[in-house]
Amino acid sequence: MYSYFIPSEFVRSVFHITPETLKNKGVKGIITDLDNTLVEWDRPEATPKLIEWFAAMKEAGIQITIVSNNNEMRVQAFAEPLGIPFISRAKKPLGKAFSQARKEMSFRKEEVVVIGDQLLTDVLGGNIQKLHTILVIPVAKSDGFVTKFNRMVERRIFRYLDKKGQVTWEEED
C-alpha cells in the first residue's frame, strides 16, 4: 500500500528539473501541480525565474499542463497569461484529470511526468495512473486549510518511508 506514496524521484524544486534531463528520459510532457509546487499557494502569478523555466521547457519541445485541485478562477488567472493549458478542480488523486491532461497532450504514459508537492494528491494520483512522479519540497511554509490536514498525514507516511530507507532527497546545490 505504501508503494503508491513513493515518488519516482525526490527533488528540491522544479528548478532542479531540466529539459535535458527530461528529454534524456524520453519525456515530452509535464503534468504539474500549481500551489506550493510552482509558486506559493497565495501568489497570484509566476515569478520571473519560473517564467524562464517554462520558456526553457517550451523551447525544448516539452509541453506543460497545470492540474490543480484549486478553483478555476485561481488556476486560470495564473495559467492563461502564460499560455499554459490547465485543469482546475481536478479532484486529485482521482485519475480523470491526469488522464485528460495526458490525452490532450497526445502522449503515452512513459512520455509524461507528474510534478507536485503532495504525496496524497500529486504522487498518489500519478502513481495510480502509472506515471513517473517527481515530488518537490513545497515552496511555502504555510498551506491552505485542506492541505494542512494532508501534511499531517504525509508526515506519518514520511516517517514510515524514512524508517524503510525509501526517502532520499537530491543533494543541495
pTM, full prediction: 0.87
Give the dihedral of Cα atoms 142, 33, 39, 80; nearest 10 deg. Answer: -140
Contact call for residues 70 and 33 (beta carbons, < 8 A): no
Residue (of 12, 27, 43) closest to 102 by Cα position: 27
At the topology level, CATH places domain 2-163 in: Rossmann fold (3.40.50)
* Residue 161 pLDDT: 75
Q: How many CA atoms lie within 13 A of 130 on its CB side?
A: 3
Contact call for residues 12 and 169 (beta carbons, < 8 A): yes
* Residue 173 pLDDT: 45
Please report, in tens digits, the pLDDT of each residue of the chain (173 residues total): 678 989 999 999 999 999 999 999 999 999 999 999 999 988 989 999 999 999 999 999 999 999 999 999 999 999 999 999 999 999 999 989 999 999 999 999 999 999 999 999 999 999 999 999 999 999 977 666 666 777 778 778 777 777 777 666 554 44
The domain limits of the chain are 2-163
CA separation for the pair 147, 149 (Å, rounded) = 5
* Residue 158 pLDDT: 73
How distant, in Å, are the alpha carbons of 30, 31, 53, 114, 166 from that of 120? 19, 16, 26, 13, 16
DSSP string, the chain: -GGGG--SEEES-GGG--HHHHHHTT--EEEE--BTTTB-TT--S--HHHHHHHHHHHHTT-EEEEE-SS-HHHHHHHHGGGT--EE-S--TTSSHHHHHHHHHHT--GGGEEEEES-IIIIIHHHHHTT-EEEEE--S-S---HHHHHHHHHHHHHHHHHHHTT---PPPP-
